[in-house]
Amino acid sequence: MTTTLTENSTAPEPAASTTLLEAKGVIMRFGGLTAVRNVDLTVGSGEIVGLIGPNGAGKTTFFNCLTGLYVPTEGQVTYKGTVLPPKPYKVTQAGISRTFQNIRLFSNMTVLENVLVGRHTRTKEGLISALLRGPGYRRAEAEARTRAMEILDFVGLAAKADRLSRNLPYGEQRKLEIARALAGDPGVLLLDEPTAGMNPQETRATQELVFAIRDQGIAVLVIEHDMRFIFSLCDRVACLVQGEKLVEGTPAVVQSDERVISAYLGTPYDGAPGSEEVAEVQAAEAAADGATSEEEDR
Amino acid sequence: MTTTTETTRSAVHRAILPIPITTARALIIIGGALTAASAFLSWTWTSAFPGDLTVDGYPGGLQWLTFAAGVLTAVFGLAGHGIRGLRRLNPAGSSSAELLLAVGGLAVTWFTLGAISVELGGLVNLTVGGWIAGIAALVPVAGALGLPIEGEPGSATSRGSALWRHIKNHPSIKPTRPLPAYAEILIIAAVLAVGLGLFTYGIDTGYGELFVGFLITVVFGAWALYSAGLTDQLSAITARHRSVTAIGAFAAAAAFPFTQSSDQYTSIGVNVLIFATVALGLNIVVGLAGLLDLGYVAFLGVGAYTAALVSGAATSSLHIVFPWWAAALTGAVASMVFGLLIGAPTLRLRGDYLAIVTLGFGEIFRIAVSNFDGVTGPNVTGGPNGIPNIPDISVFGIDLGKSHSLGGFTLGRFSNYFLLMLLFTAIVVLVFTRASDSRIGRAWIAIREDETAALAMGINGFRFKLLAFALGAGLAGLAGMVQAHMAFSVVPDPYQFAGSVPPNSAFLLAAVVLGGMGTVSGPLVGAALLYLIPAKLQFLNDYQLLAFGVALILLMRFRPEGLIASRRRQLEFHEAEQPILQTTEEAGLTKAKA
């Protein structure tokens, strides 16, 4: 059901692609505040779709709605025609993997172990078989390791498989997050600001990596603030402002759209998002994050 | 001794005492030999002090410890001198090892002399031999302080004194070529034999002074071996022969009852083993899955009560008798069910909230069984009196309540239970190691590291936390069955959060943290220490918990990863102090460990 890395599929024409991930009328409210308003978005197979917008526009909130971390107040998200269950682990099981805006690796596990955890949904060995260590268990474990090493090789981290992930340099931690997400054999990969904090060389390398992932037949939805990165990478770009989808189209269309420019550069126009509102959205997102991950800092 | 001019001097000589290195080495070797020799003198006039230190020409009691420390100091002194064959004793070439051994000898000697003076009333009780021993023990310390301190010159001077550098010293050894397999296995066997010998000696100490002296010697000795880099080499060797080490360790543990002529100390042995096994079960919950459970001892209680109910005791409300294996399984299953019942509502909480709720449920268990006495509730557990007169069990026709002789050795009642408990310990160790190194174990560690990310990786967080909770509970239930039969009765009181006698929840958690979270041997060592120290040092009485607290604080300051650190936690806490190995070397090491 899911495409694998080893399977070579040529990048299909965007027009001919079938819809993989479809969000219809997604609304996310935190109390009285609406962070995402009625957003429609589709990601077709073999597509790289970009999601841009000023800070606090609701991009990450929308991402969390797609991956089951938040349950949308209204609207629904379907993957290959079936409605996604509102649990993150079931969404991953279905074939949608993600990375995080602020790196969330398992920092005290080795690089290889991180990828093996990402492989969790594609292996089935339970406690009993782990205790008995039969031939079936050994085979599955060996296969998982081989596959994990393939993926590490793909992103260029194979030589560092036995390092603790916390000891990797920043750029490689980002790569490892992508490798970990790829280990779940996703149909759609969701990248949340994959080049944040990177220098131009690293950004270019990430761009190559995303193209390579697309060439493996995995559709990509990416949030990014780096406009050069997003416009040279994506087949289609959607711009989110104040929770609403302002415009969607090819990079050229979005790039020249006056409303996008004014949303970023702050040229006043009717209904432009005020700074208090932006702060409000951010605060609500932070509060919601805090509620789901209260003891992360422990 | 350290002066303000230390900074400038250390740049040149980098030693604490300004003496030539050859003189310093000679002082260590001669001083060590003198210290060992002084143990043969009489140290006091009367035999009023335990151990009889009045004999010239033969060491007794605490003098043996001084002797051992002196010999070790001299041998390490010779190794530092570069004697062929002894080099391997100090692969890190660390002068801290010599200093620690010398200080250990000084500490145990002066402790003995002090104890004599205090208990018998004054320094007048020391003979000339005692004074000689006290002064001889100073000589190697002086010598060791004259040795250069390793470490980058000048780097540590700004942060602390030279003495501090000795304390903070981490051995850096180059990976050596492996010895032939038979030699490494012989080394493992020898180390295990020494370990068994030390444990037996410690458990057999007849009086508190000897146990304190033993602890001083062992602590400084172990620290010195660590400084010398020997423990690192040993863990590399055991990592290459994991199954041999595991089998050997269990053989050594099984040999323990055979070293005992009476049941006086095997009862301590079986209690240590029960405590250690339960601590290892808790390590799954705390060390792997990262769930802080403050009511864990309740699961031991459930296992013990269940086993007591099906033991056929006259006071049991169920008049049925299960064979031992069925009783053990029933205990484990009952604990597991109890774990699921408690876990299902509580595991939705995280962190501190979970800790508080488990603490509450642990107390609920104890109070509930005290009330199921037929008056305030249904008569199930006999209330505060518990279930007394639990009959002994027989395993494969062998009545564990009677003494049996085996190959000339007599195994008493507690020895029998020790061996049965060892079987359960082996099961728990096997479950722990296999579960931790599997898809399940990785999911647990992922949840501990970052639960949100683990969820995003497709791990059903709640289910896996519940699994860890239930598995840990079931393993504690196994131990509970042995505990019920070994102790003849079960009463509610021991299953509380904190008390003076382990195992209780606080001590169990302390054993895990002290020993090292996420490791197998850590909780075993931690539990042994936490049980033996209060059992042996009854003269401490009121100060027991204070001493325990001070020890924990010191440990957390200097070795937060626990006595035995997993590779992961070692890296976590001492990352800055350790150079990152070359990738190829590291890959080689991990391959050897796998």
- Is the CB of A270 inside 8 Å of chain B's CB atoms? no
Distance from CA of A55 to the nearest CA of B (A): 22
Probe site for chain A from B242, B349, B457 (most A CB atoms < 10 A): B457
| Nearest CB to B443; choose among A67, A117, A293 | A117
Of A104, A130, A298, the CB nearest to B351: A298
| Alpha-carbon gap, residue A86 to A70, rounded angstroms | 7
Cα dist. B151→A84, B171, B220 in Å?
58, 10, 21
User: Minimal Cα–Cα distance from B518 to chain A, Å?
Assistant: 12
Asked if A106 and B450 come within 8 Å (Cβ–Cβ), the reply is yes
Give the nearest chain A residue to B569 (CA atoms).
A108
A34: helix, strand or coil: strand
How many whole angstroms from its chain centre is CA A63? 7
Backbone phi, psi, residue A153, to 5°? -65, -40
A271: left (phi over 0), alpha (psi -120 to 50) or beta: left
* Sequence-ordered list of residues with C-beta below 8 angstroms from that of A66, at least 6 positions apart, any chain: A21, A23, A77, A84, A91, A96, A190, A221
Contacts of B459 in chain A (CB under 8 A): 89, 117, 120
Backbone angles phi, psi at B424, to 5 degrees: -65, -40
Torsion angle (degrees, nearest 10) of CA B512, B514, B520, B525 = -120
In the predicted structure, residue A294 carries a pLDDT above the cut 60: no
Q: Is B192 helix (H, G, I), strand (E, B) or coil?
A: helix
Residue B450 contacts A, CB cutoff 8 Å? yes
Q: Do A184 and B457 touch (CB under 8 A)?
A: yes
* Nearest CA among B312, B346, B387 for reference residue B473: B346
What span, in angstroms and rounded, lies between the C-alpha atoms of B494 and B451? 34
C-alpha–C-alpha distance, residues A101 and A119, integer Å:
21
* Burial zone of B154 (CB within 10 Å; 0-12 exposed, 13-18 middle, 19+ buried): exposed
Residues of A in contact with B351 (CB under 8 A): 294-295, 298
Contact map slice: A 165-194 vs B, CB within 8 A: 166-167, 180, 184
Q: Where are the domains of chain B?
A: 17-148+170-175+206-218, 265-396+422-532
Which of B41, B112, B37, B20 lies closest to B73, judged by CA? B37
- The confidence score (pLDDT) of residue B171 equals 67
Q: What residues in B contact A163, CB-CB < 8 Å?
A: 583, 586
Half-sphere exposure of B193 (CA within 13 A, CB side): 6
Contacts of A159 in chain B (CB under 8 A): 583
Measure in Å the smallest separation between the Cα of B431 and chain A Cα atoms: 6
- Closest Cα of chain A to B186: distance in Å? 29
Question: Which chain B residues are within 8 Å of A110, Cβ to Cβ?
Answer: 590
B452 with A89: Cβ contact below 8 A: no
Q: Specify whether the CB–CB gap between A49 and A234 falls below 8 A.
A: yes
Say if A1 is an interface residue toward chain B (CB within 8 Å): no
Which of B365, B336, B303 has its CA nearest to residue B474?
A: B336
- Is A295 at the interface with chain B, CB within 8 A? yes
Phi–psi pair at B158, nearest 5 degrees: -75, -25
**pLDDT band, residue A271 (cuts 50/70/90):** low
**Minimum distance, in Å, between the CA of residue B447 and any CA atom of chain A:** 9
For Cα atoms B240, B243, B246, give the angle at the middle one, nearest 5 degrees.
110
- Residue A211: pLDDT over 90: yes
Token pair 């043996």 is found at: B64
Chain B CB within 8 Å of residue A103 CB: no
CB contact under 8 A, B569 and A108: yes
* Burial class of residue A89 in the structure, from the number of CB atoms within 10 Å of its CB (0-12 exposed, 13-18 middle, 19+ buried): buried
- For B58, residues 6+ apart whose C-beta sits below 8 A from its C-beta are B40
C-alpha distances (whole Å) from B278 to each of B237, B305, B474, B478, B503 are 28, 16, 10, 9, 8
Select from B440, B458, B572 the Cβ nearest to the Cβ of A130: B440
Q: What residues contact B467, with CB distance under 8 A and at least 6 apart? A: A127, B440
User: Which residue would you say has higher pLDDT here, A231 or B236?
Assistant: A231
Chain A environment of B452 (Cβ under 8 Å): 69, 104, 292-293, 296
Measured between CA atoms, the residue of chain B closest to residue A180 is B457
Q: pLDDT tens digits for chain B (594 residues)? A: 444 444 444 444 466 777 888 888 888 888 889 888 888 888 888 887 887 777 777 888 888 888 999 998 888 888 877 777 777 777 777 778 888 889 999 999 999 888 888 888 888 888 888 888 888 888 888 888 888 766 544 444 444 566 666 666 666 666 666 778 888 888 889 999 998 988 888 888 888 888 888 989 998 998 888 888 888 888 888 888 888 888 888 988 888 888 887 777 888 889 999 999 999 999 999 989 989 989 899 999 999 999 988 887 777 777 788 888 888 999 999 999 999 998 898 888 888 888 899 999 989 999 988 888 877 778 778 888 888 888 888 888 777 777 777 777 878 888 888 999 999 999 999 999 999 889 999 999 999 999 889 999 989 989 999 999 999 999 999 999 999 988 888 888 888 887 777 788 888 888 888 888 888 888 888 888 888 887 777 766 677 778 778 877 888 887 777 777 766 655 555 554 444 433 333 333 333 333
Chain B touched by A89 (CB under 8 Å): yes
Residues of B in Cβ contact (< 8 Å) with A118: 457
Cβ distance of A133 and B434 shorter than 8 Å: yes
Best of A2, A108, A176 to mutate (most B CBs within 10 Å, chain B): A108
| Record: contact A98-B454, CB cut-off 8 A | no
Query: Which residues of chain A are within 8 Å of residue B568 when distances are taken between CB atoms?
Result: 108-109, 164
Closest CA–CA distance from residue A34 to any residue of chain B (Å): 23
Distance from CA of A266 to the nearest CA of B (A): 35
| Number of inter-chain CB pairs under 8 A, A vs B | 125
And the tokens for A82? Answer: 């079936």
Residue A288 neighbours by CB under 8 Å, 6+ apart? A30, A61, A70
CA distance A258 to chain B (A): 37
A138 touches chain B (CB under 8 A): no
Q: Which residues of A touch B450 (CB under 8 A)?
A: 104-107, 296
Does A121 sit within 8 Å of B442, measured CB to CB? no
Q: CA-CA distance, B229 to B237, in Å (whole number)?
A: 13
As a whole number of angstroms, the distance between CA B522 and CA B566 comes to: 9
The verdict on a CB contact (< 8 Å) between A121 and B441 is no
pLDDT at A281 over 80: no
Residue predicted with more confidence, A279 or B73: B73
A177 — pLDDT class (breaks 50, 70, 90): very high
Give the best residue of B291, B349, B439, B574 to mutate against chain A (max A CB count within 10 A). Answer: B439
Q: Does residue B581 sit at the A interface (CB-CB below 8 Å)? A: no
Interacting residues of B422 by C-beta distance below 8 A, sequence separation 6+: B250, B253, B254, B273
Question: What domains, with CATH codes, occur in chain A?
Answer: 1-95+187-194+201-206+219-298 (3.40.50.300), 104-184 (no CATH)
Contact list, B441 vs chain A (CB under 8 Å) = 130
Residue B163: predicted pLDDT: 66
Q: Give contacts of B592 with chain A, Cβ < 8 Å.
A: none
Rounded Cα gap, residues A61 and B383, in angstroms: 55
* CATH number for the domain running over B265-396+422-532: 1.10.3470
Express each pLDDT in B358-378 by its tens digit: 999 989 999 988 888 877 778
* Burial of B452 from C-beta contacts in 10 A (0-12 / 13-18 / 19+): middle
**pLDDT per position as a tens digit, A84-140:** 888 888 899 899 999 998 899 998 889 999 999 999 988 888 888 888 888 888 999
pLDDT (tens digit, 9 = 90+) per residue, B328-348?
999 999 999 999 998 898 888
Min distance B444 CA to chain A CA atoms (Å): 10
Residue of B nearest to A69 (CA): B456
Give the residue from B400, B372, B402, B427 showing the smallest Cα distance to B485. B400
For chain A positions 249-268, those within 8 Å of chain B (CB to CB) are none
Residue A136 near residue A129, CB atoms below 8 Å: yes
Residue with token string 């993926």 = A151
Q: Is B48 on the interface with A (CB under 8 A)?
A: no
Q: Which residues of B touch A160 (CB under 8 A)?
A: 583
A116–B442 CB contact, under 8 Å:
yes
**B253 and B269 Cβ atoms separated by less than 8 Å:** no
